Amino acid sequence: MDAVARYRLGGLGREPVFDHIAQLATDLFDVPMSVVSIIDADMQCFRGACGLDDDGTSRDLAFCAFAILDEGIMVVPDATQDPRFRNNPMVTGDPFVRFYAGVPLVVGGQAVGTLCLIDRVARELSNHDRANLERLARTVVDLIELRVERFEAEEQRRKLAEERELLKLTVENVTEGVALVDGDLRLILWNECFATLFGYDEEVLCEGCEARTLMVITAARGELGPGDPDEIVDDFINAILITESGRIEVRRMNGTVLEVWRKTISGNRFILTARDVTHERQAARLKEELVSTVSHELRTPLTAISGALHLMGAGSVGELPPKASNLVAIGRRNADRLIALVNDLLEMDKLHSGKLSLQLAETDLRQLVAESAEQNQPYGDRYGVTLKTGLPDAPVRARVDLRRIQQVMSNLLSNACKFSPRDSEVCIALDTEGSWARISVSDQGPGISPEFRPRLFTRFAQEDGSHQRGHAGTGLGLAITKGIVEAHRGTIELDSSPGKGATFIIRLPLAG
């Protein structure tokens, strides 16, 4: 009974596929009746029949109830001569069964019914016909086995449809724009907010449409920055293929600013979320303008103060008493720190206002990396750290602003040296990854905690902890580094495990 339930064979009612088998059996064995029957607790159910109008009989009357007890074919040459059946109403009355031959249908190790032949005249079944009947019965078993796969597939489709509908309802009730894209970069689903935020027409958005098409539309409006739309989109797609997540800002032609996040999920699919951050950016811009104005006003007097303190410390006003000399040195160090902070603030202002000027030229990054290591080795010596490079034999060429990328390298190398233990190495590696140049800077320091990583590239971010003591900075270095790399249409990310050091990975588009 378990097998009958599992294969959904119980109950009355015929199925066309089994009717076809019964018709084939009557033609093949030259009998007037054939049945594909299933035996349950009380009934013999005809799942397919030819020559019989009924859908089943009581189990007490069923020849098949005996046939399923045999391992092979049960043949009754003349039912009137068989004590088991001679008084059976199906023998003494319509349909006047005389000959019966039935093969058990065994599925899942259990006999659930039979494929049987019935005739109104007594007869025998040849060995040839026995073999053919067994083969036909195996075909019926195969069809029954396939039912499970079909039912499971239908159930899976039903569940997927339900989950999809639930997901779509959930997405529609999210206040942000959301889109799901499959591994072939085709749109699976999206909500109305997503279409509205990006200004996509209804005829453009459809299930299965290419994400690249939507990107090109956005790029062609100039909303992804200046340049050829196809080249911009190619860079974006390359970044999607090699990174698990990413963030960009899209500045719409209508003045709206969108913050767009991408996160890869199972099956190489990824989710896009977009939200309107226009008001947030306006407020931040007002704050930045205030900081920029103050910074400009501070730089000139601070430079004058620092210069005066340096002259005093150098003895230009005569030899100072020890206490006065110490105070001048403290004032000079703090003035220099304030000047560094002001310079970093002004640098951030250039990055956020889009005023950062890049002098791009095709450069062999091997030479740039080697020079960066050489120039920063004296800084490493202060901490007892050796800078080690790993460079490929072939040139790695990219269009970069040499001074700015050297600034990026100096920021990363100085951080790596500061947080590395004495007598350790900082490794700088260069290689290629598809259409990208990949530069990594790895140290053997304490690493960066998971809690701090989301704020790593934000302004004024500094991690708390004992390993940070004695390494004070402005908290702007990595934010500036990220801004410069992204201005080159590149990416920067962290690969870090607490206690195992940190590795910063920069990717820049290769030239050509």
CB crowding 400-417: b at 16 or more within 10 Å, else e:
bbeebbbbbbbbbbbbbb
Supply the pLDDT for residue 33: 94
Q: What pLDDT band is residue 490 in, cutting at 50, 70 and 90?
A: very high
Q: What pLDDT band is residue 372 in, cutting at 50, 70 and 90?
A: very high
pLDDT tens for 13-65 read 788 888 899 999 999 999 999 999 888 777 888 888 999 888 888 888 888 88
The pLDDT of 410-419, averaged and rounded, is 90
pLDDT tens for 222-232 read 998 888 989 99
> Is 28 within the bounds of a domain?
yes
The pLDDT of 120-142, averaged and rounded, is 91
Say if residue 156's pLDDT is above 50.
yes
Say if residue 146's pLDDT is above 80.
no
- Is there a single domain that holds both residue 271 and residue 285? no
Q: Which of 101, 121, 152 is the C-terminal boundary of a domain? A: 152
Q: What pLDDT band is residue 319 in, cutting at 50, 70 and 90?
A: confident
Say if residue 352's pLDDT is above 70.
no
Q: Which of 152, 187, 210 is the C-terminal boundary of a domain? A: 152
**Of 9-13, 139-143, 355-359, which has the strongest mean pLDDT?**
139-143
Contact (Cβ atoms closer than 8 angstroms) between residue 125 and residue 75: yes
Say if residue 504's pLDDT is above 90.
yes
Q: What token pair was written down for 449? A: 């905690």
Instruction: Provide the CATH number for the domain around residue 335.
Output: 1.10.287
Non-local (6+) Cβ contacts of 418 within 8 A are: 383, 471
Number of other CB atoms surrounding residue 42 within 10 Å: 10
> Is 160 within the bounds of a domain?
no
CA distance linking residue 78 with residue 395, whole number of Å: 92
Instruction: Provide the CATH number for the domain around residue 65.
Output: 3.30.450.40
Say if residue 293's pLDDT is above 90.
no
**Of 58-62, 128-132, 332-336, 341-345, which has the strongest mean pLDDT?**
128-132
- Is there a single domain that holds both residue 284 and residue 262? no
Supply the pLDDT for residue 165: 66
**What is the maximum alpha-carbon separation in the chain?**
139
% of the chain with per-residue pLDDT over 70: 85
- Is there a single domain that holds both residue 9 and residue 81? yes
Non-local (6+) Cβ contacts of 59 within 8 A are: 39, 40, 41, 42, 43, 44, 65
Q: What token pair was written down for 173? A: 């009730």
- Is there a single domain that holds both residue 417 and residue 504? yes
CA distance linking residue 175 with residue 177, whole number of Å: 7
pLDDT tens for 232-284 read 999 888 888 888 888 888 889 888 999 888 888 887 888 888 989 888 888 87
Supply the pLDDT for residue 466: 47
CA distance linking residue 509 with residue 512, whole number of Å: 9
Say if residue 174's pLDDT is above 80.
no
- Is there a single domain that holds both residue 216 and residue 257? yes
Q: Which of 353, 371, 406 is the C-terminal boundary of a domain? A: 353
> Is 212 within the bounds of a domain?
yes
Question: Which residue in the block uniquely carries the two structure tokens 């019926």?
Answer: 140
> Is 207 within the bounds of a domain?
yes
Instruction: Provide the CATH number for the domain around residue 447.
Output: 3.30.565.10
Contact (Cβ atoms closer than 8 angstroms) between residue 492 and residue 457: yes
> Is 165 within the bounds of a domain?
no
Supply the pLDDT for residue 106: 85
Mean pLDDT across the chain: 83
Nearest to 37 by CA among 20, 22, 51: 22
Predicted model pTM: 0.43
C-alpha dihedral over 58, 60, 66, 68, to 10 degrees? 40
Q: For residue 131, give its domain range.
A: 2-152
Say if residue 464's pLDDT is above 80.
no
Contact (Cβ atoms closer than 8 angstroms) between residue 82 and residue 100: no
Supply the pLDDT for residue 445: 87
Torsion angles phi and psi, residue 349, rounded to 5: -65, -40
> Is 159 within the bounds of a domain?
no
Supply the pLDDT for residue 417: 92
> Which of the residue ranges 126-130, 151-155, 194-198, 505-509 would you say has the lowest mean pLDDT?
151-155
The pLDDT of 106-124, averaged and rounded, is 88
pLDDT tens for 252-264 read 988 899 988 888 8
- Is there a single domain that holds both residue 202 and residue 121? no
Q: Tell me how many domains the chain contains.
A: 4
Contact (Cβ atoms closer than 8 angstroms) between residue 449 and residue 498: yes
- Is there a single domain that holds both residue 43 and residue 127? yes
Local structure of residue 210 (DSSP, 8 states):
B
% of the chain with per-residue pLDDT over 90: 31
Supply the pLDDT for residue 469: 43
> Is 166 within the bounds of a domain?
no
- Tell me the pairing of strands 177-181 and 270-276: antiparallel
> Is 162 within the bounds of a domain?
no
The pLDDT of 177-199, averaged and rounded, is 88
pLDDT tens for 430-459 read 999 999 999 999 998 888 888 878 778 776
Q: What token pair was written down for 358? A: 């890049």
Question: Which residue in the block uniquely carries the two structure tokens 């962290």?
Answer: 494
CA distance linking residue 102 with residue 74, whole number of Å: 5
